[in-house]
Amino acid sequence: MPETLLKINGLRKSFTLPGGMFAKKRSLKAVHDVSFGIEQGTTYSLVGESGCGKSTTGRLISRLLTPSHGEIWIDGEEISQKKESQLKLVRKKVQMIFQDPYASLNPRMKVREIIAEPLVIHTKLSKAERNHLVSEMLEVVGLTEHHADRYAHEFSGGQRQRIGIARALIMKPKLIIADEPVSALDVSIQSQILNLLKDLQTEFNLTYLFISHDLSVVEHISDSIGVMYLGTIVESGPKDVIFSNPLHPYTKALLSSVPVPDPRLRRERIVLQGDLPSPVNPPSGCRFHTRCPACMDICRTVEPEVKKGLADDHFVACHLMD
């Protein structure tokens, strides 16, 4: 039985939107009762459309944000309400890779300094030792020693993402949270980075929380998947089950929306009507009922419970399951 590295339970986060002269303060429930676990050495992906709370969930787990409610267990330790001063040890175990490789690297620092910064903060290694580790790490991510003394602007998007990965890996973390790491890249570069992430996972036994809106990328990289809609996970389970036998109407619609790069497979799609409702004022009952093609009366009033689906680790929150 593989060890569970990350376990989150009933995680919630709400933000308060500032009121104006006439407007009242409003609360935005970005993440609402999210629970899942990730086993050591596997990849769990959160998918959903913009504004569904997937990035907020990632930021809560890395404790860049503090949850309003709920538990986060990493490697047997509960960290949801730890203070900044106590988080240093956690930060060694959890590292992030960000979406925009142009905005997430300091333009005034040399690559060597960028990658070595975690070492400066977390270790007492000498400069020579740090440089040695940086060179090693550059090799690992497919760059070379002579890249180390350049600045971020001298690199292309794909190379910058490699630098971001090197920075995340230098502390030998256990969990990597990758928030849309390939969305800003061209397809040919995207595949280079996806291949690299897979190789690194095998080499260092890494655990990934992969956040993405792109279902084809998610299918390629994940072991398990959680589909998010307006702050809740509507369906979760092993990749094969989700992709071959989705049960939630939203998962079905999402899967059928993805354009397939094969002209012989043009098919009838489930096209959802309307737009994503605002999370400030989410619909009553099931949050998806306003766009759901299979909406029933009960969906408008009662929030569906999470039920077991087709496998032990397949869960669906939908009244159709009753």
Q: Which residues lie near other proteins (CB under 8 A)?
A: 49-50, 156, 158-159, 186-192, 194-195, 198, 213, 215-217, 219-220, 243, 253-266, 269, 271-273, 275-276
Nearer to other proteins, 155 or 171 (CB): 155
Cβ proximity to other proteins, 124 vs 266, nearer residue:
266
Which CB sits closer to other proteins, 74 or 255? 255
Nearest-angstrom CA–CA distance, 125 and 17? 44
- Work out how close the CB of 156 gets to other proteins at its nearest, in angstroms, rounded to a whole number: 5
Kindly tell me which of 35 and 191 has the beta carbon lying closer to other proteins.
191
| Residue matched to tokens 């998610």 | 218
Nearer to other proteins, 64 or 260 (CB): 260
User: What are the DSSP calls for 269-292, one per residue?
Assistant: --PPPS-PPPTTSPPSSSTTTTT-
The values of phi and psi at residue 135, to 5°, are: -60, -45
Q: Which amino acid is at 134?
A: V
- 189 or 321: whose CB is closer to other proteins? 189
Q: At closest approach, how far in Å is the CB of 229 from other proteins?
A: 10
Least distance in angstroms from the C-beta of 186 to other proteins: 4
Paired tokens of 152: 């971020």
The amino acid present at 196, given as its one-letter code, is L
CB of 80 to other proteins, least distance (A): 30
Residue 194 carries which DSSP code? H
CA atoms of 94 and 296, how far apart (whole Å): 42
Do residues 106 and 160 lie in contact, with contact meaning Cβ atoms separated by under 8 Å?
no
CA 295 to CA 13: how far, in whole Å?
Answer: 27
State in angstroms the smallest separation of the CB of 116 from other proteins: 25
H helix runs in 111-223, sequence order: 111-122, 127-140, 157-169, 187-204, 215-221
Radius of gyration, alpha carbons of the chain: 21
Q: Taking the complex as a whole, how short is the minimal distance between the CB of residue 235 and other proteins, in angstroms?
A: 15
